[in-house]
Amino acid sequence: MTDDRTALGRLNEAGFSVGALTDEQLEVLRALTPQELDLLVDIKGRLDEVGPEVQAHSEIAGGALF
């Protein structure tokens, strides 16, 4: 299990809106293993990297996927 401040702080730094989560959701995040936390932060980073391109396609193509 990760340290609460470390887990939530790291998720916040990675761009997760932890302040908008319920107490129950925060409990789940507090219980993440270090490996789960690493994976979640990695996935968020990869999604953020392609975010603007996907959003631009959505705006230009009216949400069509290609």
Tokens describing residue 16: 């997760």
What phi-psi label fits residue 21: left (phi over 0), alpha (psi between -120 and 50 degrees) or beta?
Answer: beta
Residue 18: CB atoms within 10 Å: 17
Nearest to 37 by CA among 58, 4, 57, 7: 7
Cβ-contact 29, 7 below 8 angstroms? yes
pLDDT tens digits, 14-39: 999 999 999 999 999 999 999 999 99
- What does pTM read for this prediction? 0.66
- Domain ranges for the chain, please list them: 4-60
